[in-house]
Structure 1
Amino acid sequence: MTTTRAAPRSAARPAPVRSSYRFELVKMLSQWRIRLLIVACWVAPAVFVAIVSQQSSLPADTVFGRLMHGTGWAGSLVVLGFATTWALPLLTALVAGDIFAVEDRLGTWRHLLVAVRSPRRIFVAKTLASVTVILLLVTGLAASGIAGGLVAVGNRPLVGLDGHLLSPGNAAGTVVLAWVCAVAPTLAFAAVGLLGSVALGRSPMGLLLPALLAFALQLTEFLPLPVAVRLALPSHAFLAWRGLFTSPAQAGPLLVGLAVSLLWAVVATALAYRLFLRRDFTDLAYEGSGRRVLGAALLPLVAVVALTAGVLVGATPHTGSGIEQRKLQDSLATSFAHLYRLQTAQLHRPDVTEAELGATASCDKGGSPVLDEGPGNDWRCVVSWHLPGATAVGSAIYQLDVTADGRYVADGDGPKEVNGYFQVRTPDGDAPNPLWQFDGNVDLLHSAEKD
């Protein structure tokens, strides 16, 4: 009698990443909270921009806010400013900050592990699914804001942060590029959300971690930090996109901000991956560990900031705030010369070039006892220029409010016919005076040339 041996049973293979990713994505999109966020991001900015653009009172305290009557591209940049301050960190908290914690709340880890058979592939699939949803939300904010502005106001030229005029085509490309640059810091906050979701389990603190980080970093923006420390924070790229709207573009702070954000995204994701693979999934009552978050999450990220700041200290000669008298004077004079030409066109006067004007600025901060550097609302500047064929030298006074991130608001203080009134009387009727109030941006890494 012959006997037959049973064929050895092959080990069960893990589910493919593609299938796991598709499953996680469908699971996320089936949640009413995610669906509501998608609808809000694709509809609310367009409605907001369309309504505000038709109001007599504009958000002048926001970059490009006072330009919403003049061009549809300004509305999208106002949305971008709001999104980088509040919306994007909150969106990453609601999406990435809950992607792992939801399994703890529902108690479904055992079922997921049995189905996928690979913690590594579970982590990859969940990470890719959360990033996909976040990119969908960012795309919605950008597209909706642009559409609302173009429909409500129109495809018109945009005045940059140094007064130069961007054609509709250039404005479109620069606005889209600004939104693309906001993706890098968004991914950094998303990675922090993944880290909190893994480390803190079902605890709500994991969900709030990106929002709390954003709030803490916003508070530091008001402090007179050295340039190296400011640029080492992952939130700086949320502000550095403003440098795209000068000519030439202020590329240094933007590139540094993008590199720092991507470094944070990689480090935080790696920390989350390490914690996830070490987790004991047999503990059904897992609540996270504060000590684990401190030792394996927060301290490494603080070390990243310290290391990045150290590298920047060695790479840049700046040790102060980066806001210097000479840089502020050059920026103000450049903006004034560009905007003076816009006013000249409004009044149908003979055109002059910036070189013919030869605009210069002299700025003082808080009087003689105060050092002329750093942020503050006590900067007083006098701009001088000379028209071809004229013997007299023109002058105009500005009060400047300079923030620690390099943005400033120049408020005209006379003479009235130049910059002392918000409108100018043109042959076609009253029109907004481009020299009355305008925004500017100082390159924190640029070294001003000495006389």
Structure 2
Amino acid sequence: MTATVAEAPVRTDAVPLGRVFRFEMVKLLAQWRIRLVLVACLLAPAIYSGVVSRQTSLPADAVYGRLMNQSGWAGSLTILVSLGTLLLPLLTSVVAGDVFAIEDRLGTWRHVLVAVRSPRRVFAAKALAALTVTLTLLTCLMVSSTVGGLVSVGSHPLPGLDGHLLGPDELARTVLWAWLTLVPPTLAFSAVGLLGSVALGRSPLGLLVPVAVALVLMGVQVMPVPVALRVSLPMNAFISYRGLVTDPAELDSLWIGLLVCGSWTVLATLLAYRLFVRRDFTDLANDGSARRFVTGGLAPVAGLVVVTTLAVAAATGATGSGIDRPKLEAAVARSFGNLYVIQTDRLHRPAVTVADLDATARCDKGGDLVEDEGAGSGWRCTVRWTLPGSSAVGTAIYQLDVLPEGRFVADGDGPKEVNGFFQVRGPAGDAPNPLWQFDGVVDLLDPPTKGQQ
């Protein structure tokens, strides 16, 4: 009589997604560069905010940069602005751009697929892990920059981009919402990173796809392109927070950015998924395909840009650059009136309201031979206002640098007692002059006749 030993049944069911996700998180956090980036995101913004806010030379070229020594919230907003250039696309490159390619470089795809037994769950776990780490880095940046500024300078009021004063409580809510507006474009570039990592395999070009796309889109943003195209790109979503720091809030650009970034995220993720599940993993020499990336990745994304641009143009009726004289005059007058009220309070003069001042602006770009439209540094505005109980009309002159994205920097050109010096002297001593230089925004999606004097 012979004994027979029954063989253990071979499991063919896939590993649960939760276990695969935890495994991918462990692999990501075990990488030294991810740990280094995490430490940098925790420390660098706090150090920058704390040190720069105590300097006499401030980053005046950044929105809220010149106000970093007046309120701790300005440091957080300044860092938020700088993230929308290359830093966040770079972070998505380090995480999402390498999450698939690393398996190609190490030659571990066969082991991963044999262990998990489901390419779909592998893709889902890697995408979720990359997203989790990226959002964790973004959270670290937000917390670090805010804490650094508040510890160094404190929680003080800050003017919005239309000049109205934001109190500490309102600033806390506004800054939180402003950082949340970075989530949609971050997701969009993370999805682009997944697409590059899947399509280009072990090629180092896959790691650089989000940065390359960001550079191309930044080049488009600085050109005088139609406003419908400008707001249809995910780069514009990085500055959509500006609508939150005006009163009333200007949210059209924010909602459009949310829809645009959502479309990019869904499309790029689906394209990456399609390429991944159709891949032949038995080919150990697979190094990705640039042609496949162009036809199966970039071409559909370019088509999406065309579709969203046409949709925005049809829905908003926006044409041209979105910057014209009536809208600029309205924005300058509104900011001046609000900031004049702040200046009056700092000088301990009799209180006035924006309605009392009835400020108006007259702007011109480069004289009679130049059309008063579009971005440029040749704008010159004259602001006029009246005070209660006085028949005299006050006059102040500003030189404006208007950027294609709608932001303008107004530089005071006199008179000295109003806007010609960076400080004002009141009964309590010298204080920053809010009318000397200030940032403002023009709502590019407003109809051309809105705000006409």
> If the TM-score is normalised by the length of the shorter chain, which range does it land in?
over 0.9
**Which deviates more, 260-269 or 313-322?**
313-322
The alignment status of 1:203 with 2:183, answered yes or no, reads no
Matching of residues 164-203 of structure 1 within 5 Å? 164-203=164-203
The alignment status of 1:359 with 2:359, answered yes or no, reads yes
What do the CA deviations read for 1:279-329 (whole angstroms, capped 9, x no partner)?
Answer: 010111211111101100000000000000011111122210111111111
The letter of the residue matching 1:353 is: T
Does the 8 A contact of 2:15 with 2:116 survive in 1? yes
Counterpart-to-counterpart distance in 2, 1:83 and 1:382: 34
- Residue 432 of structure 1: CA displacement? 1.1
The letter of the residue matching 2:100 is: F
Counterpart-to-counterpart distance in 2, 1:377 and 1:352: 32
Counterpart-to-counterpart distance in 2, 1:156 and 1:388: 29
The letter of the residue matching 1:363 is: C
Does the 8 A contact of 1:71 with 1:154 survive in 2? yes
Report what 2:36 is aligned to: 36
Matching of residues 44-443 of structure 1 within 5 Å? 44-443=44-443
SS at match of 1:294: helix
Distance 1:8 1:24, change over 3 A: closer
Counterpart-to-counterpart distance in 2, 1:306 and 1:230: 11
The letter of the residue matching 1:47 is: I
Does the 8 A contact of 1:231 with 1:256 survive in 2? yes
TM-score (norm 2): 0.97
Does the 8 A contact of 1:235 with 1:261 survive in 2? no
TM-score (norm 1): 0.98
Does the 8 A contact of 1:411 with 1:438 survive in 2? yes
The letter of the residue matching 2:391 is: T
**Which deviates more, 79-88 or 273-282?**
79-88
Counterpart-to-counterpart distance in 1, 2:9 and 2:344: 85
What do the CA deviations read for 1:90-119 (whole angstroms, capped 9, x no partner)?
Answer: 000000000000000000000000000000
**What do you get for the CA RMSD once the two structures are aligned?**
1.6
SS at match of 2:405: coil
SS at match of 1:418: coil
What do the CA deviations read for 1:141-195 (whole angstroms, capped 9, x no partner)?
Answer: 0000000000000011111101001110100110011111101000100000000
Distance 1:380 1:119, change over 3 A: same
- Residue 345 of structure 1: CA displacement? 0.8
- Residue 11 of structure 1: CA displacement? 5.4
Counterpart-to-counterpart distance in 1, 2:262 and 2:181: 11
What do the CA deviations read for 1:238-282 (whole angstroms, capped 9, x no partner)?
Answer: 111112111111100111011101110110000000000110101
The letter of the residue matching 1:92 is: T
Counterpart-to-counterpart distance in 2, 1:293 and 1:12: 32
**Which deviates more, 323-332 or 91-100?**
323-332
What do the CA deviations read for 1:338-381 (whole angstroms, capped 9, x no partner)?
Answer: 10011101111000111010000000111111111110000000
Distance 1:257 1:41, change over 3 A: same
Total equivalences in the alignment: 450
SS at match of 1:98: coil
Gaps of 5+ in 1: none
Counterpart-to-counterpart distance in 1, 2:269 and 2:372: 43
SS at match of 1:97: coil
- Residue 57 of structure 1: CA displacement? 0.4
Does the 8 A contact of 2:330 with 2:451 survive in 1? no
The letter of the residue matching 1:103 is: E
Counterpart-to-counterpart distance in 2, 1:7 and 1:140: 51
SS at match of 1:56: coil
Counterpart-to-counterpart distance in 1, 2:284 and 2:82: 40
- Residue 440 of structure 1: CA displacement? 0.3
- Residue 5 of structure 1: CA displacement? 13
- Residue 221 of structure 1: CA displacement? 1.3
The letter of the residue matching 1:191 is: A
The letter of the residue matching 1:171 is: L
Counterpart-to-counterpart distance in 2, 1:89 and 1:438: 29
Counterpart-to-counterpart distance in 2, 1:202 and 1:254: 36
- Residue 10 of structure 1: CA displacement? 7.0
- Residue 8 of structure 1: CA displacement? 11
The letter of the residue matching 2:276 is: F
Counterpart-to-counterpart distance in 2, 1:450 and 1:30: 58
- Residue 386 of structure 1: CA displacement? 0.5
Counterpart-to-counterpart distance in 2, 1:211 and 1:289: 19
- Residue 226 of structure 1: CA displacement? 0.6
- Residue 215 of structure 1: CA displacement? 1.1
- Residue 9 of structure 1: CA displacement? 5.0
Counterpart-to-counterpart distance in 2, 1:7 and 1:192: 46
Counterpart-to-counterpart distance in 2, 1:183 and 1:208: 20
Q: Which runs of 4+ in 1 moved over 3 A?
A: 4-11
Counterpart-to-counterpart distance in 2, 1:7 and 1:280: 31
The letter of the residue matching 1:252 is: D
What do the CA deviations read for 1:181-216 (whole angstroms, capped 9, x no partner)?
Answer: 101000100000000000000000000000111111
SS at match of 1:281: coil
Does the 8 A contact of 2:318 with 2:446 survive in 1? no
Counterpart-to-counterpart distance in 1, 2:252 and 2:357: 29
Distance 1:450 1:54, change over 3 A: closer
